Amino acid sequence: MSGQVATAPPAARPGGERRVVANVVRGSIGNLIEWYDWYAYTAFSVYFASAFFPKGDLTAQLLNSAGVFAIGFLMRPLGGWMLGRYADRFGRRAALTLSVTLMAAGSLVIALTPTYASIGILAPALLLAARLVQGISVGGEYSTSATYLSEVASTGRRGFYSSFQYVTLVAGQLTALGVQIVLQQVLSGEQMSEWGWRIPFVIGAVGALIVMWLRRGMDETDSYQKESASGSDQRGTVRALLRHPRECLLVVGLTLGGTVAFYTFTTYLQKFMVNTSGIDKGTVAWINFLALLVFLCVQPLAGALSDRIGRRKLLLGFGVSGTLLTVPLLTLLSSTQNPVAAFALMLAGLVIVTGYTSINAIVKAELFPTNIRALGVGLPYALTVAIFGGTAEFVGLWLKQAGNEPVFYWYVAGCVLVSLVVYLCMRETSQSSSLEDAPEPSGRS
């Protein structure tokens, strides 16, 4: 179901829109650092895989590091539940501050952990422990930042402002790649593998500590303050969430294809171009950086478009394009060593995924009432990402090692097809959103 979407501007209020922008910026900077820390792992795994795992061929070592990456995702549902509940009960600002603190701790552990040659099995054990903590952090970060940006935004521009969640998510990945490119220019390959890979994790830990301090000065949302003043004891409870089973299943369905496609065309493609296409690591880093930079820039454009034509039409565009074009794009990429062609193919995949990434936060936030919004956005989403998104890289590498890599292309397309069916059946969320029941942003808590 679709239709005209309300685009009336919010009521004029002194400093209202400036306050919205200021809060979006402060929340987004923290989101950037969170995702920088998360993506530094995958950006530098081609260098540190040999430091944490026994000697073997490159695919085997990458498979081990991808396994730890996937296990970290399994903690995201726990983070979505813990920090989503915390955000619904104690505030979005408090939960965002806690999540970035956990991320800082995880990055610091990775930066300081000795190699497998020095401490044996303790090295991958500490790496795993750090990723588990970061998994809790990023699981809570997604739900709380999606809720915060959606609630703090002004009416008629919620799609635009909430799209900055993926702007900063991708900016975090770009920052990790940028650090990688700089280090590749000043350090030799041997130095990168021996100790250079530790530098980005030190940067991430320090950046997260700074953001932890900055987030303490963020405004709380009016939606949360209104709900908190009601004195309800149902804020952030699983019992209250279970009263919305259709919405929870809808989050699972609309996320499945999007998360698999996103992690395929971002984190996995860096290894894919090195390990399958045969492009050198330095060139691949630049391809990733430039493609993701364009991807970042189109997020707010698509978010603003959703404010005018509705969320569902963008999701349908992603579903149809992803189902039909994923296999051809990955097949062509697997057989090219031309950097320009590889860039064009990666960018094409990312443009397709934009139909999901630019609006997924606001769509999920529009499904739930304020008292369980962070938990409702976070828990079913995190479960889906843990099962499908976090394992996408592992499945791709496993199928390559088994000699059946093309099966992975069909797997990704099939996941998008499942979501397409959901998009065809879902309503236009912007027309019946409980976000519009809350007052406009007006002041600090």
Q: Distances in Å between the alpha carbon of 96 and those of 22, 125, 141, 160? A: 16, 27, 6, 21
CA 379 to chain centroid, in Å, comes to 14
CB distance 345 to 333 below 8 Å: yes
CA distance 330 to 346: 9
Residuewise pLDDT in 10s, the chain (445 residues):
334 444 444 443 345 677 778 778 777 777 788 788 877 887 787 787 777 776 665 566 666 666 776 677 778 888 888 888 888 888 888 888 888 888 888 889 988 988 777 887 788 888 888 888 888 888 888 888 888 888 887 777 888 888 888 888 889 888 887 888 889 889 887 888 888 889 999 998 888 888 877 777 778 887 888 877 766 666 767 788 888 889 899 999 999 999 999 999 988 898 899 888 889 888 888 898 899 999 999 999 999 999 999 899 999 999 999 999 999 999 999 999 999 999 999 999 999 999 999 998 888 888 888 888 888 888 898 889 888 987 888 898 889 888 898 999 999 999 999 999 999 998 888 776 667 655 444 444 3
- Amino acid letter, residue 4: Q
CA distances from 423 to 194, 364, 382, 416, 433 (A): 47, 13, 19, 10, 17
Q: Compute and round to an integer the Cα radius of gyration of the chain.
A: 21
Task: Quote the pTM value.
Answer: 0.79
Distance, in Å, from the CA atom of 167 to the CA atom of 174, rounded to the nearest integer, reads 10
Element (H, E) at 231: none
CATH of 18-430, one of 1.20.1250.20, 3.30.70.1560, 1.20.1050.10, 3.40.50.2300: 1.20.1250.20
Sorted by where each begins, the domain ranges of the chain are: 18-430
Residue whose C-alpha is closest to residue 204's, from 178, 185, 184: 178
Residues 257/423, Cβ–Cβ less than 8 Å: no
